[in-house]
Amino acid sequence: MRKQLRAAVCGVGVVAVMAAVWATAPRAHPFPVAGASADVSAVEPEPAPPADQPYIGFKECASCHFKQFMSWKKTKHAETFKLLPEKYRSDGKCLKCHTTGFGKPTGFKDVESTPTLAGNTCEMCHGPGGRHAEICKGFGTTLDEADEKKARDSIWRVIPANICIECHMTQAHKESPTPKEMRDE
C-alpha cells in the first residue's frame, strides 16, 4: 500500500517538474502512469543516500532493473551521445550535457573506458549508484521489508535538484550552438 501510494505521488511531483518538456515526452520510463493521486501528505521525505557512491553505468543497473532499462532504452536520452558526430565526442563542452557524470571522478571519461555512461543514463536522474548496487547484491532473491528499505534508502528515487533544467531550460545551445553542418536548413 505504502509502495503504491509513493509511486503515484512521485509521478505527480515529476509531472510538475517536467511540465515544460512534457508535451514531447515519450511514453516510457520514467514517465508516470495514469491515475496518479495528488495526495502528498502521507509520504515521508526521501532519505539522502550515501554521498560517496561511484558511477557504475547502465549495464549494472539493468541487471536488476530490466524493465526500467528496456523502457529507458527507447527514450532519446539513451541516444544523446550517439547523435554527436565523431569530432565532438571528446569535446567537454558537449559532453557535460550529452553524457552522464562528465567531470566527476567516476563519471564519463571517453567512450572506450566508460561506454555505459555515454548518453544520459540511469545515474543522470538517480545519482551515482555504486553503493546501492553493492548493498542490493547482498540480498537474497526475496526481499523482506527491512532489506527493501535499505535498498530504497541507498539511492535517490529522483535527484532532488531540478536536473532537467540544467540541460533543457537554459537555452542549452546558447554557448555551444549546434554546429552549422548539423543543422537542418
Q: How far is the CB of 161 from ligand HEC (least distance, A)?
A: 10
* Closest of 25, 26, 175, 155 to residue 96, by C-alpha: 175
Q: How far is the CB of 113 from ligand HEC (least distance, A)?
A: 17
* Closest of 64, 78, 66, 47 to residue 133, by C-alpha: 64
Residue number, 106 or 176, with CB nearest to ligand HEC? 176
Identify the bridge partners of residue 99 per DSSP, sorted by sequence position.
118
The three cell numbers of residue 32 are 508516470
The maximal CA–CA distance of the chain, rounded, in angstroms, is 57
Residue number, 34 or 112, with CB nearest to ligand HEC? 34
**Number of other CB atoms surrounding residue 74 within 10 Å:** 13
Q: Which residues bind ligand HEC (CB under 6 A)?
A: 7, 10-11, 14, 18, 21, 24-25, 29-30, 32, 56, 58, 60-65, 68-69, 72, 76-77, 79-80, 83-84, 88, 91, 93-94, 96-98, 120-126, 129, 132-133, 136-137, 143, 148, 151-152, 155, 157-158, 163-164, 166-168, 172-173, 176, 178-179, 182
Q: How far is the CB of 112 from ligand HEC (least distance, A)?
A: 19
DSSP percent split of the chain into helix, strand, coil, nearest 5: 45, 0, 55
